[in-house]
Amino acid sequence: MNPVHTACTSNAAHPATPSLRCSRHAVLGKMKSGVEVATTMRSISPACTPAEASALLQASRARSLLDLMLRENAKQTNGEQNPGQVFAPFSLSEIKQKLPEANQIVEYTVLESKILIWVIDRNDAQVKESRISRAELEARVGNYLRSIADPKGEDVSRQGKELFDLLIKPVAMLLDSEKQLNIIPDKILNSLPFDSLVSTSSGRFLIEDYSLSYAPSASVLVLASADAETIDANHAEYILAVGNPTFDQERYGLLANLKDAAKEAGQVKETYKRGSVLIGPDATKRNILTELPKSDVAHFALHSIEEPHDEMHSRLVLARDQNGSGLGASEDVLEAREIYEMRLPATRLVILSACQTGTGRYYRGEGTFSVARAFMASGVPVVVASLWAVDSEATAELMINLHQIRKQQRLPTAEALRRAQLRILQGNERFRHPYYWAAFLVYGGSEKSSVNLVSRN
C-alpha cells in the first residue's frame, strides 16, 4: 500500500494519515470588520454603474494584504515610510489599464440570494448573475470538497458539472481560451479548485480548456502582476529546493518520512543550472533563512501544519539544527508570522509542495489567511499552494513535471502547472481522480509570458 504524505491536522498531536504532506499579527488589525464588509456588499445594487460597483467591491477585498504590498513598494521607491499613509485600491479603469493583455479577471461576489460574476479585461467589464442562496452554495461546495479531497470520492463529475453551471456557464460566452483566467473568489469559493469543474456540454475539465490562477482581489492581482513581469524562465534562475527535512520524531512522531519529497527536491534542483538543495538533516531553519533571500525560486517539499484557529502559527516543519540555531522554540519550524515579517524582493516564485498551504481561516472581506498569503505579503508575486492533504507520490511527479515544463518550454507558472496536471490526468490511470492533481493552485500575479503565444496541449 502506498504510504500517504500527511500531517494535515490542525495540530501535530492529532492522528494523521501516513502518506500525505501536511500535517495575530499587526496586519490583522488593518482588516475591515464583518459589519463593514456586509454594508459594502449590500451597497452594490442594480442602480450602480460598473465603475461604482467595482469601487465598492475593491474597497472590501484583501485590503490589509494590498496595504502591505503598496507600503513595501512605497518604501522601495521613496526609501522611507509614512506610518499614517492610507493606500486606496485601484479603480476599475486602473485595473483594466494595468491588467496584463493576455489575461481576463473572473471575479465573484457571493450575496445572500445570488452570485455576481464579473468578467474584466483591458477592453470591457461585464457582470452576470447566478441565482442561488449563499446557504445552498456553501452546502454544494462543501459536499464537492469532501468528495474531491477523497481519492475514493464518488459522484465528483456530477457535482463538478453542477458547480460549473452555477459559476462558469453564466459567463462562458465572455471567456477567451487564449487568455489566462484570473479567478477572484469570494467566501466559500476560496476553497474551490475551479480547475476541476466539468463542462456540461463537452464533459471536459475547465483546466483542459483554460489556464487559471487565483488572487484575493483584482487590485492585488494587478500589483502582483507588475512584480511578476520580472520573472523570466529563460534566465539562469537560482533555486532553493528543500525536501523531506529530518524533523524531531519525539515532537512530530505522527508525521511520515517523505521519501518522495527528497527525490522530488533533488530532481527539481537538477532542472536549474544554479541553486542549492537542502534534504534531510541539512533542511534546517538556519540554512533555509540563509539561502531563501538570494533565491529566484524556492521549492518546499515537506510537511506543513495548519492552525485554523491561530493562523499566524501555521508552519512548515523543518529539520532540527544539531549544533543549535539560537532561534529558540521555533528553531525547527517556519511559521506564517515569521514569513510575514520577511522581505524577499529577489524571490519571484515559491512552490509549497505540502498539504493545505493555500487554506486557512477565512476573514470576511480579506480572504483566506494561509502560508501562501504570507509569502505574497513578504514580496513574492507568484506562489503555488495546495487546498487539501496531498498524495506524496502523485505530488512528486506533478512537481517535477511542473519545473521541467516551466524551464524547458519557457512557460509561465500557471500554464506549466496546467500542463503538468494534464500529464497526471491523462497519464497514470491510478492518478486520474482530481484528488491527485487538482489540489495545487497558482496564487498571485500573472507573468509576462502570455499563454496565447504558446501552442495548447
The contacts of residue 449 (CB under 8 Å, 6+ apart) are 233, 410, 411, 412, 415
Q: Answer whether 19's CB lies under 8 Å from 260's CB.
A: no
Q: Answer whether 240's CB lies under 8 Å from 288's CB.
A: yes
Interaxial angle between packed helices 134-148 and 156-167, expressed in degrees from 0 to 180 and rounded to the nearest 10: 140
Mean pLDDT value of segment 15-19: 37
382 has pLDDT over 80: yes
Q: Is 127 helix (H, G, I), strand (E, B) or coil?
A: strand
Report the 3 state secondary structure along 33-61. CHHHHHHHHHCCCCCCCHHHHHHHHHHCC
What pLDDT band is residue 230 in, cutting at 50, 70 and 90? confident
> What is the DSSP-derived secondary structure letter of residue 446?
P
The contacts of residue 218 (CB under 8 Å, 6+ apart) are 54, 57, 58, 61, 90, 95, 105, 107, 120, 182, 184
What pLDDT band is residue 11 in, cutting at 50, 70 and 90? very low
Q: Answer whether 209's CB lies under 8 Å from 196's CB.
A: no
The CA distance from 333 to 206, in Å, is 36
pLDDT digit string, tens, across residues 429-442: 889 999 999 999 99
More confident: 85 or 219: 219
Q: What is residue 89's predicted lDDT score, i.e. its pLDDT? A: 79
Stated pTM of the model: 0.85
The CA distance from 202 to 450, in Å, is 25
Place of cell 506610518: 83
28 has pLDDT over 60: no
Q: What is residue 370's predicted lDDT score, i.e. its pLDDT? A: 86
The alpha carbons of the chain give a radius of gyration, in whole angstroms, of 21
Q: Answer whether 245's CB lies under 8 Å from 283's CB.
A: yes
Average pLDDT over the chain reads 83
The CA distance from 213 to 411, in Å, is 14
Q: What is residue 66's predicted lDDT score, i.e. its pLDDT? A: 67
Mean pLDDT value of segment 201-207: 95
Of 383, 315, 413, 311, nearest to 355 (Cα)? 315
pLDDT digit string, tens, across residues 301-312: 999 998 888 888
Q: What is residue 236's predicted lDDT score, i.e. its pLDDT? A: 86
Q: What is residue 321's predicted lDDT score, i.e. its pLDDT? A: 84
More confident: 45 or 221: 221
Q: Report the length, in residues, of the chain.
A: 457
Mean pLDDT value of segment 207-222: 94
Domain assignments of the chain as residue spans, ordered by start? 27-224, 232-453
Helix (H) or strand (E) holding 301: strand 297-301
314 has pLDDT over 60: yes
Residue 176 C-beta-side C-alpha neighbours within 13 Å = 18
Q: Which CATH number fits domain 232-453: 3.30.365.10, 3.40.50.1460, 3.40.50.460, 2.170.150.70?
A: 3.40.50.1460
Q: Of the segments 7-21, 47-61, 66-80, 114-128, which one has the largest average pLDDT value? A: 114-128
218 has pLDDT over 80: yes
43 has pLDDT over 60: no
Q: What is residue 208's predicted lDDT score, i.e. its pLDDT? A: 96
Mean pLDDT value of segment 188-192: 95
Mean pLDDT value of segment 393-405: 95
C-alpha cell at 430: 491510478
pLDDT digit string, tens, across residues 129-168: 999 999 999 999 999 999 998 888 778 999 999 999 999 9
Q: What is residue 316's predicted lDDT score, i.e. its pLDDT? A: 95
Q: Answer whether 23's CB lies under 8 Å from 11's CB.
A: no
Q: What is residue 10's predicted lDDT score, i.e. its pLDDT? A: 36
227 has pLDDT over 80: yes
7 has pLDDT over 60: no
Q: Is 94 helix (H, G, I), strand (E, B) or coil?
A: helix
Q: What is residue 365's predicted lDDT score, i.e. its pLDDT? A: 64
What pLDDT band is residue 329 in, cutting at 50, 70 and 90? low
Q: What is residue 37's predicted lDDT score, i.e. its pLDDT? A: 45
Mean pLDDT value of segment 311-317: 91
What pLDDT band is residue 4 in, cutting at 50, 70 and 90? very low
Q: Per DSSP, what are the bridge partners of residue 198? A: 205
More confident: 11 or 446: 446
Q: Is 86 helix (H, G, I), strand (E, B) or coil?
A: coil
The CA distance from 49 to 55, in Å, is 10
C-alpha cell at 435: 484528488
Type of residue found at 270: E
14 has pLDDT over 60: no
The CA distance from 450 to 102, in Å, is 6
C-alpha cell at 373: 498569503
C-alpha cell at 261: 519529497
What pLDDT band is residue 121 in, cutting at 50, 70 and 90? very high
Mean pLDDT value of segment 304-327: 83
What pLDDT band is residue 398 in, cutting at 50, 70 and 90? very high
Q: What is the DSSP string of 353-364?
A: ESTTTT--EEET
Q: What is the DSSP string of 382-426?
A: EEEEESSPPBHHHHHHHHHHHHHHHHHTT--HHHHHHHHHHHHHH
pLDDT digit string, tens, across residues 270-284: 999 999 999 999 999
More confident: 234 or 379: 379
The CA distance from 430 to 250, in Å, is 34
